[in-house]
Chain A
Amino acid sequence: GAVVSQHPSRVICKSGTSVKIECRSLDFQATTMFWYRQFPKQSLMLMATSNEGSKATYEQGVEKDKFLINHASLTLSTLTVTSAHPEDSSFYICSATRDRGILKANAEAFFGQGTRLTVV
């Protein structure tokens, strides 16, 4: 099956620094990638939708200047948490979808393994 690789799986950074998280689709071209954040005991919260070659679409309440998303190619999207603060500590997950096509076959979102960010 399709694989999405997310890196790093765990990162600890100092307050005020920036952290970059990579999301790669390994065996398919992902025109659309999604970035989620999960708080403890809560659902996956969609942060932004990333389309290759265009600006990301951010959900309401998500600061686009703080969470920079770049989708430079069909297999790579990056999320950069700028000037990180302890409240940014969370579990970040990316996902990628293949083109559903006419038959809508195998239409599913493939997830990365997630990144545990801890800001100290």
Chain B
Amino acid sequence: DQQVKQNSPSLSVQEGRISILNCDYTNSMFDYFLWYKKYPAEGPTFLISISSIKDKNEDGRFTVFLNKSAKHLSLHIVPSQPGDSAVYFCAASDEISNQFYFGTGTSLTVIP
């Protein structure tokens, strides 16, 4: 049972525009959410996170929004750059298990 879902397997965006990647989760016990970026044949690298006590966290071009009532989070990248082209995974964690549950990933292509 997939507890974290990314329903868009791919996304193409023009350079300079905004990229919006979405993620939904089902477990209300999740209290910490993260986004990872992954290039082919490499391990994921941490991008940005948000605690359930917040609804927004911003770091440079990256902003993560959390809507707890909808069990939905999104990652906004603005302006998008060609180097942002990668697979983005959202992940969720709860304090009890300390385990990370990953979505299926969204492949972002930023077109120059």
Contact = CB atoms under 8 A, between A and B. Distances in A.
Interface of A: 1, 4, 6, 32, 34, 41-44, 46, 49, 91, 93, 95, 97, 100, 104, 107-114, 116
Nearest to B103: A43
Given A43-B102, A43-B103, A107 B43 contact: no
Task: Please tell me the size bucket of the interface on B.
Answer: 20 to 34
A43 B100 contact: no
B64 interface: no
Given A107-B93, A112-B43, A113-B43, A43 B32 contact: no
A104 B32 contact: yes
Given A43-B105, A108-B34, A95 B41 contact: no
Given A43-B89, A43-B105, A108 B42 contact: no
Interface string B81-107: 000000001010101001111111100
